[in-house]
Amino acid sequence: MESRSAILLSSLLFSLLLSTTSAQLSSDFYKNTCPNVESLVRTAVTNKFQQTFVTAPATLRLFFHDCFVRGCDASMLIDSPTNTAEKNHPDDISLAGDGFDTVVKAKAAVDSDPQCTNKVSCADILALATRDVVVLTGGPFYPVELGRRDGRISTIASVQRHLPQPFFNLDQLNSFFGFNNLTQTDMIALSGAHTIGVSHCSRFSRRIYKFSPKNPIDPTLNLTYAFQLRQMCPLNVNPTIAISLDPTTPNKFDNAYYTNLQQGKGLLSSDEVLFTDARSKSTVDLFASNNDAFQQAFVSAITKLGRVGVKTGNQGEIRHDCSRIN
């Protein structure tokens, strides 16, 4: 009897220990199963980046959307024959195909190493590829925590209440990031991802044409910039036209995003509000004046983003094809 309860107790302790360790990600997670995973991914991502710059913004945004909907579990990559997966939601239709293709290419590179075949999750490959595109565009290098498992569920319905909208005010932005344990400072640092990439005109056209009955142009926009935007985005613009989120250095991962905000050149309302709301302005001013402070905050925030809702241990699966569950 005594030894039975001792066994019960020790197995309870053991499973507690297992569940706490399995809930942790670690940067050497694949050291025995796929020791070269980092260089395999980096080579594939670098090749793809040399073919097209869009690789970088597309991968970075894909990681953000994936993590915010059901956690960082590659559920955003799942295809649906009935078009009812996360990626079919209107907010995700504009995710550039090159982000998905980056993961497909990196996954093929990883799986081509016999030791690694079907050992590395699509979620981890996306996290690594995201770090690599940040570095390729001039941003900071940081260690990537690994050990995520891939999700088996992807529904269009789970998207709506999780992704922030470009017309959100500071309270709305804070609450959507807060759901995911990210602070206002994390949110401001992560918004710095808009230092690369583009937005379609429809996402901000209200700001340059019909802001209010009294004022057609959003008064927080730099007027010179607003008129440039009107030229690039005429009424009835071709819906495929897209404008750089950072008009100053659109292809460089730097802190120009924040100096833009100081000059009224935040393209989306959710960008400019970070400067116009007194509660977030001092952080924007700090990041604008100090690129190191921005980079440090970005690394801390994207590491926390990479922990959102992760599946570990024996949850989920290691998907064989990133676009479908096993």
Ligand X SMILES: *[C@@H]1O[C@H](CO)[C@@H](O)[C@H](O)[C@H]1NC(C)=O
Q: How far is the CB of 135 from ligand X (least distance, A)?
A: 25
Taking residue 81's Cβ as centre, other Cβ atoms within 10 Å add up to 7
Over the window 196 to 235, marking each residue x when it contacts ligand X by CB under 6 A and - when it does not, the resulting string is: --------------------------x-xx----------
Which x/- pattern over 123-162 shows residues binding ligand X (rule: CB under 6 A)? ----------------------------------------
Choose between 47 and 222: whose C-beta lies nearer to ligand X.
222
Burial (CB < 10 A; 0-12, 13-18, 19+), residue 201, is: buried
Name residue 100's amino acid. Answer: F
Q: Is 71 annotated as a binding residue?
A: yes
Determine, following the binding rule CB under 6 A, whether residue 197 of this chain makes contact with ligand HEM: yes
CB of 303 to ligand X, least distance (A): 13
Distance CA 90, CA 86 (A): 9
Long-range contacts formed by 242-245: CB under 8 A, 24+ apart: 242/198, 242/199, 242/200, 242/201, 243/198, 243/199, 243/200, 243/201, 243/267, 244/197, 244/198, 245/194, 245/195, 245/196, 245/197, 245/198, 245/199, 245/271
Contact call for residue 80 and ligand X (CB under 6 A)? no
Residue 35 binding target from ligand HEM, ligand X, none, CB below 5 to 8 Å by type: none
Q: How far is the CB of 41 from ligand HEM (least distance, A)?
A: 18
Q: Answer yes or no whether residue 207 interacts with ligand HEM by CB under 6 A.
A: no
The answer to whether the Cα torsion of 124, 129, 132, 137 is positive or negative is negative
DSSP 198-226: EEEGGGTHHHHH-S-SS-SS-TTS-HHHH
For ligand HEM, give the closer residue by CB, 67 or 120: 67
Residues 6+ positions from 320 with CB-CB distance below 8 Å: 118, 326
Shortest Cβ 240–ligand X spacing (Å): 26
Is residue 72 close enough to count as binding ligand HEM by CB under 6 A? no
Per-residue contact string for residues 161-180; x = within reach of ligand X by CB under 6 A: -------------------x
Q: Is 99 in the site for ligand X (CB under 6 A)?
A: no
Radius of gyration of the chain (CA): 21
| 3 state SS of 316 | coil
Tell me the catalytic residues: 65
Single out the residue of 173, 145, 69 nearest to residue 300, CA to CA: 145
Piece of 20-28, 154-162, 198-206, 288-296 that binds ligand HEM (CB under 6 A): 198-206
In the complex, least distance from residue 180 CB atom to ligand X, rounded to whole angstroms: 5
Under a CB-based contact definition with an 8 Å cutoff, are residues 85 and 155 in contact? yes
Q: Contacts with ligand HEM in 289-308 (CB under 6 A)?
A: none
263 binds, among ligand HEM, ligand X, none (CB under 5 to 8 A by kind): ligand X
Q: Does 309 bind ligand X (CB under 6 A)?
A: yes
Binding residues: 66, 69, 71, 73, 75, 86, 164, 194-195, 246, 249, 254
Residues in the site for ligand X, rule: CB under 6 A?
180-181, 222, 224-225, 263-264, 308-309
Residues in the site for ligand HEM, rule: CB under 6 A?
57-58, 60-61, 64, 94, 96, 164-166, 168, 173, 187, 190-191, 193-194, 196-200, 203, 268, 270
